[in-house]
């Protein structure tokens, strides 16, 4: 088939999948008012593949079949693949009105991680299976979500030590042709509206955890998979002023696997507990860079919103506000510079022949982004003023009796009449003071791995031996 249209993608989601939201089973995820926001954000992936303006970024020619396929399914076996993908993700975010379509990147990061580990460990069966699966995804232009995070119960205990055996997803049965798995994965982005879910372990394992060392891919409508989604926001909205480019975003789900049967052809790790940590690490190496790439357009437009807010309030030239601008620019441009450095210095991951953005720089970029975001939001809130939370709503603006009052009192500096200023404040409310804004702050900390995981990777990748040997040379110390 190759290169589906957005309409074909939407149609493919009407398959009887078991998705719940606000306690009700969703009949059609493409029509549900909350999930629709995610579906339409995701649909940009397919729109880009057909739009002459973005096609060259989004589409490549498959070396084996000669067919046009999504760039996400490219085998990254040359260094420039890294920056090409970075440009695709940045452009996707721009095209999808500031949000990432998010339905092929995390899944293909898992495919790359699995493929790299299969090569490093020399497991030819898994190498063949994952490349067959990659080709299957490319041929059918599938959308994918990635389920890594288990529900984890008591965080101080490993999988096999938990009070309930299902706190980590595990193999509960096996035959010659298939395995049966049970457990749940939490916070899974977009899984309610992807074709497939890829599952890998979230952590290191011991021999006692062997049943938990499992990785596989499975269609979302497979019997036994139930998703419980938390609503985010809807397109229909009476509070915020409408904008020419709608607000975009995604919905996460708790994905429950209740005795789900997985054909062995789609299994990429089965009880090799020694490889679990390496697999989680390899996925993170690929995925952390995706995470950094899509933040950049978001930081750019949020910085711009703060600048417009200062202009609307007539304070853009005052020293206290310019100090805030300096903070925001430093934060945004440092994130960009680190991301660029990571793309320009790709590395062959573990000698696998698969190229990944420089892991030290991309972890630094993610850590820098995650550690500074709340301060960045604080600066925007400070610049914009209290109207960010007390503003009259779009419904008030539409009321003929109230609008004259709003026109009289809500104007700002030259160029910002009441409508312009309220429109701006309405968007600022969405990005720094709404439920969504709170979600975004938490997302910044936890999504794509919490601070601790970035710090762990930073310690693993930093040239600490180089630092120590330089210090030894200077002092003349003989110790190793
Ligand atoms: C918006 C959003 C989208 C997400 N999308 C996805 C997705 O698509 N796929 C996916 O797989 N995951 C996804 N995640 C999950 C994300 O990767 C996790 O939230 C993250 O790894 C943290 O795990 P947790 O939420 O279980 O928090 P916890 O692991 O409970 O962490 C809470 C705190 O406890 C600390 N902690 C935890 N365990 C230990 C320990 N043993 N020792 C010391 N300290 C510890 C952590 O460092 C952290 O400070 C998403 C999360 C969010 C918020």
If phi > 0 it is left, if psi is from -120 to 50 it is alpha, else beta; for residue 322 that is alpha
Average pLDDT rounded to a whole number, residues 27-49: 97
Interval between CA 188 and ligand 1 midpoint (Å): 11
Q: Is residue 96 part of a domain?
A: no
Long-range interactions of 108-111: CB distance < 8 A, separation 24+: 108/72, 108/73, 108/134, 108/137, 108/144, 109/146, 109/283, 109/286, 109/287, 109/290, 110/144, 110/146, 110/148, 110/198, 110/200, 110/283, 110/286, 110/287, 111/73, 111/137, 111/198
Helix (H, G, I), strand (E, B) or coil at 10: helix
Residue 309 lies in a domain: yes
In this prediction the pTM is 0.95
Structural domain count, the chain: 1
Instruction: Report, as an integer, the average pLDDT of 272-278.
Output: 97
Give residue 1's pLDDT.
Answer: 63
Q: How far is the CA of 449 from the centre of ligand 1 (A)?
A: 6
Q: Whose CA is nearest to atom 25 of ligand 1?
A: 446
Looking at residue 94, what is its pLDDT?
Answer: 87
CA-CA-CA-CA dihedral for 268, 272, 274, 277, to nearest 10: 30
Confidence at residue 480, expressed as pLDDT on a 0 to 100 scale? 64
Tell me the pLDDT band of 2, cut-offs 50, 70 and 90.
confident
Quick: pLDDT tens for 382-420.
999 999 999 999 999 999 999 999 999 999 999 999 999
Q: Answer whether 107 contacts ligand 1 (Cβ < 6 A).
A: no
Per-residue pLDDT at 90 exceeds 90:
no
150 secondary structure, DSSP code: B
Residue 82 lies in a domain: no
Domain that holds residue 379: 278-469
Q: Please tell me the predicted confidence (pLDDT) of residue 63.
A: 85
pLDDT band at 478 (very low <50, low <70, confident <90, very high): confident
CA of 417 to the centre of ligand 1 (A): 44
In a domain, 17, yes or no: no
Q: 336: Cβ below 6 Å to ligand 1?
A: no
The domain that holds 383 is classified in CATH as 1.20.140.10
User: pLDDT per residue over 57-69, tens digit each?
Assistant: 999 999 888 999 9
Q: Is residue 306 part of a domain?
A: yes
- Structural domain includes residue 169: no
| CB of 249 sitting under 6 A from ligand 1 | no
| Residue 239 is assigned to a structural domain of this protein | no
Residue 273 domain flag = no
Residues in the chain: 480
pLDDT for residue 453: 86
pLDDT tens digits along 337-355: 999 999 999 999 999 999 9
Question: Chain-wide mean pLDDT for the chain?
Answer: 95
Q: 291-316: per-residue pLDDT in tens?
A: 888 889 899 999 999 999 999 999 99
* Whether residue 245 has its Cβ less than 6 Å from ligand 1: no
Q: Is the pLDDT of residue 231 over 90?
A: yes
Q: pLDDT-derived band of residue 98, with 50, 70 and 90 as boundaries? A: confident
């Amino acid at each position: 088939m190759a290169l589906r249209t957005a309409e074909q993608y939407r149609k493919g989601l009407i398959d009887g999948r078991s998705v719940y939201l606000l306690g009700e089973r969703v009949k059609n995820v493409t029509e549900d008012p909350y999930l629709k926001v995610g579906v339409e954000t995701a649909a940009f992936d397919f729109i880009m593949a057909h739009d002459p303006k973005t096609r060259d970024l989004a589409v490549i020619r498959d070396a084996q079949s000669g067919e046009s396929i999504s760039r996400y399914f490219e085998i990254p076996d040359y260094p420039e693949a890294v920056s090409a993908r970075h440009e695709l993700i940045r452009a996707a975010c721009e095209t999808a009105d500031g949000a990432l379509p998010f339905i092929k990147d995390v899944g293909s990061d898992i495919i790359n991680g699995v493929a790299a580990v299969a090569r490093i460990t020399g497991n030819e069966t898994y190498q063949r299976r994952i490349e067959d699966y990659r080709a299957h995804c490319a041929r059918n232009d599938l959308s994918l979500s990635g389920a890594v995070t288990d529900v984890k119960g008591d965080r101080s205990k490993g999988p096999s030590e938990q009070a309930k055996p299902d706190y980590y997803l595990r193999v509960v049965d096996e035959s010659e042709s298939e395995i049966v798995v049970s457990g749940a994965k939490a916070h899974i982005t977009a899984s309610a509206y992807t074709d497939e879910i890829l599952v890998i372990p979230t952590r290191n394992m011991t021999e006692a955890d062997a049943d938990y060392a499992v990785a596989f891919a499975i269609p979302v409508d497979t019997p036994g998979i139930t998703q419980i989604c938390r609503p985010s926001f809807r397109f229909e909205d009476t509070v915020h002023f409408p904008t020419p480019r709608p607000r975009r975003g995604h919905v996460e789900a708790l994905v429950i696997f209740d005795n789900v049967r997985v054909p062995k052809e789609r299994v990429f790790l089965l009880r090799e507990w020694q490889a679990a940590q390496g697999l989680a690490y390899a996925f993170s190496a690929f995925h952390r860079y995706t995470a950094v790439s899509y933040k950049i357009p978001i930081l750019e437009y949020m910085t711009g919103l703060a600048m417009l807010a200062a202009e609307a309030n007539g304070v853009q030239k005052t020293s206290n506000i310019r100090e805030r601008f300096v903070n925001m620019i430093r934060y945004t441009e440092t994130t960009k510079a680190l991301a660029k450095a990571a793309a320009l210095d790709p590395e062959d991951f573990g000698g696998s022949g698969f190229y990944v953005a420089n892991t030290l720089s991309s972890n630094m970029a993610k850590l820098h982004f995650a550690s500074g975001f709340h301060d960045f939001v604080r600066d925007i809130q400070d610049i914009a003023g209290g109207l960010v939370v007390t503003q009259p709503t779009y419904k008030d603006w539409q009321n003929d009796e109230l609008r004259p009052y709003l026109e009289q009192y809500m104007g700002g500096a030259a160029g910002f009449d009441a409508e312009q200023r309220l429109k701006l404040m309405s968007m600022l409310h969405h990005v720094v003071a709404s439920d969504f804004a709170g979600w975004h702050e938490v997302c910044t900390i936890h999504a794509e791995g919490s601070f601790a995981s970035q710090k762990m990777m930073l310690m693993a990748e930093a040239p600490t031996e180089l630092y120590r040997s330089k210090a030894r040379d200077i002092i003349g110390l003989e110790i190793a």
